[in-house]
């Protein structure tokens, strides 16, 4: 089914940074898309393009204005927009007259389908997605919402690609900024926690390798417990928390520092930042 939907589709990726690489790696390693179906370009960093070409065997285009660039634009079935939010309007303006009705799948934080439609023309099929870098290992938590002109075929195509890379949740577009602050940025929150646990463990005398093994397996085990038992995290937490034991003592320190409130502030601020970046792009067009 997946092979049929993606078979022969040409994917042009505008942007060659962290998320583009994670998606390329996931799609090619899962064998969902062959490297010949993918063309990547960026603004100016040729070394980076060459690295992607050598690593994943994808094609690269240095300049969208030359013959190879024009050919890549005209033949693209899907344009994956993976540049920074502040480059989106400019990039879309440059390509709009050179593409032939592709599906535009944007992963840019904050940038609305309205904005993209207003640049590309009102019939453009525009998809706004928010994956995370775990695309690289096919474990992204991706959310998606659709522009006004996406019919079932476009939705199926987008969800087929994204579901290769992990889970896909369809959400109302007004929730995309929250999703961005939650699961788009989310891996970094867990990595930050791991960094903190690692340095605490080392400060308390554990060898670095041992600390890393213990922390990563604890993180992985907790995630698997949440997924496989379907129990509420609160229930699972209580199973670890013996009366008057070590966990209770540790959690009390979290509570004294208002940890839950802090996490809410973190996600609220990240969501707000997504909104701000979208508004900055919208204001350029006014």
Ligand X SMILES: O=C(O)[C@@H]1CCC=N1
Q: Summarize the annotated binding site as residue ranges.
A: 82-85
Site for ligand NDP in 132-161 (CB under 6 A): 132-133
Q: How far is the CB of 270 from ligand NDP (least distance, A)?
A: 11
**Do the beta carbons of residue 52 and residue 30 sit within 8 Å?**
no
Query: Applying CB under 6 A, which of residues 120, 185, 215, 278 lies at the interface with ligand X?
Result: 185
Torsion of CA 188, 189, 191, 193, to 10 degrees: 160
Sorted by sequence, the CB contacts under 8 Å of residue 216 that are 6+ apart come out as 194
Interface characters, 68-107, with ligand NDP (x: CB under 6 A):
--------------xxxx-x---x---------------x
Q: Which does 154 bind (CB under 5 to 8 A by kind): ligand X, ligand NDP, none?
A: none
- The window from 44-52, 200-208, 216-224, 235-243 that contacts ligand NDP (CB under 6 A) reads 44-52
Q: Which CB atom, from 154 or from 185, has the smaller least distance to ligand X?
A: 185
**3-state SS, one letter per residue, for 263-285:** HHHHHHHHHHHHHHHHHHHHHHH
Q: What are phi and psi of 149, to 5 degrees?
A: -110, 20
Query: Applying CB under 6 A, which of residues 109, 143, 161, 164 lies at the interface with ligand X?
Result: 109
244 class by beta-carbon count within 10 Å (0-12 exposed, 13-18 middle, 19+ buried): exposed
Binding residues for NADP(+): 82-85
Size of site (CB under 6 A) for ligand X: 4
**Do the beta carbons of residue 9 and residue 77 sit within 8 Å?**
yes
Check residue 109 for interaction with ligand NDP (CB under 6 A): yes
Query: Applying CB under 6 A, which of residues 1, 8, 44, 283 lies at the interface with ligand NDP?
Result: 44
Q: Which CB atom, from 45 or from 268, has the smaller least distance to ligand NDP?
A: 45
Interface characters, 218-247, with ligand X (x: CB under 6 A):
------------------------------
Please report, for the chain, how many H helices and E strands are present, in that order.
13, 8
Closest CA to 133 of 160, 107, 171, 111: 107
Question: Which helix or strand (DSSP H or E) is residue 70 part of?
Answer: helix 67-75
Q: Which CB atom, from 91 or from 211, has the smaller least distance to ligand NDP?
A: 91
Instruction: List the beta bridge partners of residue 145.
Output: 128
Please report, as ranges, the residues that interact with ligand NDP according to CB under 6 A: 14-20, 41-45, 48, 82-85, 87, 91, 107-109, 130-133, 184
């Amino acid at each position: 089914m997946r092979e049929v939907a993606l078979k022969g589709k040409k994917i042009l990726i505008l942007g060659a940074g962290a998320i583009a690489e994670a998606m390329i790696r996931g799609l090619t390693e899962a064998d969902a898309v062959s490297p010949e179906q993918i063309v990547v370009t960026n603004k100016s960093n040729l070394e980076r393009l060459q690295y992607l070409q050598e690593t994943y065997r994808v094609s690269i285009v240095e300049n969208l204005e030359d013959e190879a660039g024009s050919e890549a634009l005209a033949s693209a079935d899907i344009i994956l927009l993976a540049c920074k939010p502040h480059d989106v309007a400019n990039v879309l303006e440059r390509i709009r007259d050179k593409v032939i009705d592709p599906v535009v799948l944007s992963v840019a934080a904050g940038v609305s389908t309205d904005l993209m439609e207003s640049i590309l023309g009102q019939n453009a099929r525009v998809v706004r997605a928010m994956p995370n870098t775990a695309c690289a290992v096919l474990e992204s938590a991706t959310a998606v919402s659709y522009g006004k002109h996406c019919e079932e075929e476009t939705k199926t195509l987008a969800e087929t690609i994204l579901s290769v890379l992990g889970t896909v949740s369809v959400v109302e577009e007004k929730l995309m900024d929250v999703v961005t602050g939650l699961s788009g940025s989310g891996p970094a929150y867990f990595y930050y926690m791991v960094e903190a646990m690692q340095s605490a463990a080392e400060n308390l005398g554990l060898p670095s390798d041992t600390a890393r093994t213990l922390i990563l397996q604890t993180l992985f085990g907790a995630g698997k417990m949440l997924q496989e038992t379907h129990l509420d995290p609160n229930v699972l937490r209580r199973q670890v928390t013996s009366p008057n034991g070590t966990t209770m003592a540790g959690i009390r320190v979290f509570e004294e520092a208002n940890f839950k409130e802090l996490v809410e502030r973190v996600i609220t601020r990240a969501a707000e930042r997504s909104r701000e970046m979208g508004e900055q792009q919208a204001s350029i067009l006014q």
